[in-house]
Amino acid sequence: MSTSRLPERSPSPGFDVPSVDRPHGWRSRWRDLRTQFRRQVDANTGLLLVAASQFFFSLMNVVVKKVNTVEPPVPTLEVPDPILGPPGVRLLLLTRGFVGFFGLFGIYYSLQYLSLSDATVLTFLAPMATGVTGALLLGEVFTLKEALAGLCSLVGVVLIARPTFIFGAAAVDGGTGDEHGTPAERLGAVGVALIGVLGATGAYTTLRAIGKRAHPLHSLVGFSTWCVIVSCIGCAPPPPSPPHALTGDRRLAATRTPLVLPHRWDFVAMLGMMGVLGFVSQTLLTMGLQRETAGRGTLAVYIQIVFAAILERIFFSAVPSALSVVGSLVILASALYVALTKASSAAPPVPTEEGVGLLAHAEDGAELQELGLDLEAGKDAKDAL
């Protein structure tokens, strides 16, 4: 009797066949985690760029503070590049440079009399103001969640900085102790820092208004150029009075401080460090605000106080207090909350952005998406035929 062999059954599509080539479980989990991480990075690229810029801003502020400890102190110098930028945004670039100067001048001047933490905390009034101006002037969305996260971050900043005008004598405990000048001079420094807040708000808003219509370096060149122009006007010496004529004392017209030229290698080295750190931080900030709304993007500015607290410990031997640790955790939690709760309706990054170029308009991405939809519709119609 012949025995007929049954045909071998091929595995069904839904049946997993064990194979030696199948990836292990931990490899699959690692691949899933990597995919999720890349999605989060792509969704929050602008926020991460702004946060990275704050690290370099903090380093630059440390160098500025160090320069003020060297006798005699040396003013900051910047070298302009005569490039006007695209014709359509030249007025915005001019405005960004003009108001941006006062944003930097406020923090630089206040660092002469205030501690690094006190001067930094005052600048953090700008993100909330930028969210409001972005919503009013640019029509951008500034959600209640972002506003609450900003307020929580501001509370964390206050806990870290413990400004003396809020905490009084209790701020000395765990503080840096590096304030200088009389109470009147420190009060004047606070006022100048508030002027800097207005300048920073205008700079953030104009950067967002410019968007991708200009390369980040166009904004940086315009900013440095107008900083030099306004600085030259402010540094013009007053008419020599008889006491000055006899002593040969040269003072600046705006701040009434002595004009000091660098004459030591450490002066020149720190000026060079400020230029490099400022260039990197301003470039990252501009690139970040090109990709995020003004309100959401500037919330990452609050991370600077965490960097400032760490750098104060390294360079000025300031031991962080328990309130500083709590404030840092509050800021980090708020930043993480904003990053993870990004509105789902926000447009994803256009994958062909590099092909479009950094000088493209923001509307180009929508045109490319519309073109892609038209191509898909034509393909579907062809398949139907």
Least confident among 119-133, 139-153, 166-180, 219-233: 166-180
In this prediction, residue 199 has a pLDDT band, given cuts at 50, 70 and 90, of very high
- For the segment 1-54, what is each residue's pLDDT rounded down to a tens digit? 455 555 555 555 544 544 444 456 788 888 888 888 888 888 888 778 888 887
- For the segment 269-321, what is each residue's pLDDT rounded down to a tens digit? 888 888 888 888 888 888 888 888 777 777 777 777 778 778 877 887 777 77
d(CA 372, CA 385): 20
Counts for the chain of helices (H) and strands (E), in that order: 16, 0
- For the segment 321-357, what is each residue's pLDDT rounded down to a tens digit? 787 778 778 877 887 777 677 544 444 444 334 333 3
Residue type, 286: T
In this prediction, residue 198 has a pLDDT band, given cuts at 50, 70 and 90, of very high
First-to-last C-alpha distance (Å) of the chain: 56
d(CA 258, CA 375): 67
State the CB neighbour count (10 A cutoff) for residue 330.
20
HSE, CB side, 13 Å, CA atoms: give it for residue 38.
6
pLDDT at 193 over 80: yes
In this prediction, residue 179 has a pLDDT band, given cuts at 50, 70 and 90, of low
Domain ranges of the chain: 38-238+250-338
Which among 122, 291, 120, 289 has a CA at the least distance from the CA of 198? 122
Beta bridge partners of 258: 251
- DSSP3 helix / strand / coil % (the chain, rounded to 5): 70, 0, 30
In this prediction, residue 202 has a pLDDT band, given cuts at 50, 70 and 90, of very high
d(CA 288, CA 380): 38
- For the segment 84-98, what is each residue's pLDDT rounded down to a tens digit? 777 888 899 889 888
**What DSSP state is assigned to residue 301?**
G
In this prediction, residue 244 has a pLDDT band, given cuts at 50, 70 and 90, of very low
pLDDT computed for residue 326 by the predictor: 84
Query: Who's near 378: CB < 8 A, 6+ residues apart?
Result: none
